[in-house]
Amino acid sequence: MNIDYLVEMANDIGNYFTSEPQREEAINGILNHIQRFWEDRMQKQIVDYLDEGGEELSPMVKEAVSRLKNSLVEAK
């Protein structure tokens, strides 16, 4: 998929959680949302993008995608 589209989606999720005072809660919120609503190829692609540097991802989203990667590895 167009990676810009996925990056915008991920950052939009991240933006929602910016007002969450607990950073950990915010990151888990982003992670949980992606896990619950993103199809596998989208999850894989955003993880691949992070592996390539993930430049356009906001810091909290980067952290969430990093955890997503770990969960996908564990699932395997």
Partner 1 sequence: MQSISDKDYGTPRVDSTTKVKVNIDGTSVEVPEGTSVIRAATQAGINIPKLCATDMLEPFGSCRLCLVEIEGVKGYPASCTTPVKQGMKITTQNGKLAKLRRDVMELYISDHPLDCLTCDANGHCELQDMAGVVGLRDVRYGYEGDNHLQLEKDESNPYFNFDPAKCIVCSRCVRACNEVQGTFALTIQSRGFESKVSASQDQSFMDSECVSCGACVQACPTATLSEKSISKLGQAEHSVVTTCAYCGVGCSFKAEIKGNTVVRMVPNKDGHANHGHSCVKGRFAFGYTTHKDRITKPMIRNSIKDPWKEVSWDEAINYAASEFKRIQSEHGVNSIGGITSSRCTNEETFLVQKLVRAAFGNNNVDTCARVCHSPTGYGLKQTLGESAGTQDFDSVMESDVIMIIGANPSEAHPVFASQMKRRIRQGAGLIVIDPRSIGMVKSPHINADFHLKLLPGTNVALITALAHVVVTENLISEDYIKERCEWDSYLKWKAFVSQERHSPEATVSTTGVPAELVRGAASLYGSANNGAIYYGLGVTEHSQGSTMVMGIANLAMATANLGRKGVGVNPLRGQNNVQGSCDMGSFPHEFAGYRHVSDDSVRAMFEEAWKVELKSRPGLRIPNMFEASLDGSFKGIYIQGEDIAQSDPDTKHVQAALEAMECIVVQDIFMNETANYAHVFLPGSTFLEKDGTFTNAERRISPVRKVMPPKCGYADWEVTCMLSNALGYAMNYTHPSEIMDEIARLTPTFTGVTYKKLDKLGSIQWPCNDKAPNGTPIMHEETFVRGKGKFLLTEYVPSHEKVNAKYPLILTTGRILSQYNVGSQTRRTANVAWHDEDIVEIHPNDAEERGVETGDWIGITSRSGETVLRATVTDLVQPGVVYTTFHFPESGANVVTSNHSDWATNCPEYKVTAVQVAKVTNPSDWQKRHQEFTSLQKELLGKRETVTE
Examine residue 20 and tell whether it contacts partner 1 (CB under 8 A). Answer: yes
DSSP alpha helices (H): ranges in the chain? 3-16, 23-37, 40-51, 59-75
Examine residue 8 and tell whether it contacts partner 1 (CB under 8 A). Answer: yes
Examine residue 39 and tell whether it contacts partner 1 (CB under 8 A). Answer: yes
Task: Tell me the two tokens of residue 28.
Answer: 């888990």
Examine residue 74 and tell whether it contacts partner 1 (CB under 8 A). Answer: no
Q: What is the CA radius of gyration of the chain?
A: 11
Binding site for partner 1 (CB under 8 A): 1-2, 5, 8-9, 12-13, 15-16, 18-21, 33, 36-42
